[in-house]
Amino acid sequence: MEKDIKEILFTEEEIKKRIEILGKKISEDYKGKFPLFVCILRGAFMFLADLLREVQIPLSVDFMAISSYGGNTESTGQVKILKDLDTSIKGRDVLIIEDIVDTGLTMDAVTRLLRTRKPKSLKICTLLDKEERRKIPVNISYYGFKIPNKFVVGYGLDYKEKYRNLPFIGILKEKIYM
């Protein structure tokens, strides 16, 4: 797997340090509340697991599975819900946990849907932000790292379901998907 990686962008240690900071900030911002963390599957599972351990306040967790890619590196713009939440979000402080915001199409569709369910608040926490690729503006409250316009894998992120178990985040060699 590692031979398919062109460059490591963030090591395990760098990710851990950044998540500690994020966890502290979220704990302060949601103090006295009982937020619901909505993890977007599958890419954000590792981020969620590590972030939760750095958040020091009571919270609950639910999962939503979205498909926007059809197995390629370009978003199709078609966002399909493969698994919906089990929990009602009405009146809840909802924090969406996402792996990466790229064109913004996925987060735009997800936030529009969740808003119709009347949460008390709705915010986005993404590990990675590929800002220069944005097609639709997305209001990101918390992010781990801003990244350049490169296809990245590892730490939960995949290419055709592979590379999710790499402990770091790296740029995939172009020859793998070209």
Q: Which residues bind ligand IMP (CB under 6 A)?
A: 43, 68-69, 75, 98-106, 130, 151-153, 157
Amino acid of residue 122: L
Between 67 and 87, name the residue whose CB sits nearer to ligand IMP: 67
Taking the complex as a whole, the smallest distance from the CB of residue 26 to ligand IMP amounts, in Å, to 20
Out of 93, 99, 102, 158, which one is annotated catalytic?
A: 102
Structure tokens at 2: 């590692």
Between 13 and 132, name the residue whose CB sits nearer to ligand IMP: 132
Taking the complex as a whole, the smallest distance from the CB of residue 162 to ligand IMP amounts, in Å, to 11
Of 125, 140, 63, whose CA–CA distance to 95 is shortest?
A: 125
Of 114, 86, 87, whose CA–CA distance to 98 is shortest?
A: 114
Between 71 and 91, name the residue whose CB sits nearer to ligand IMP: 71
Is 158 annotated as catalytic?
no
Give the up-direction half-sphere exposure of residue 119: CA atoms within 13 A in the CB hemisphere. 22
For residue 177, give every residue at least 6 positions away whose Cβ sits within 8 Å of its Cβ, in sequence order, or none: 72, 73, 151, 159
Q: Which residues are catalytic?
A: 102
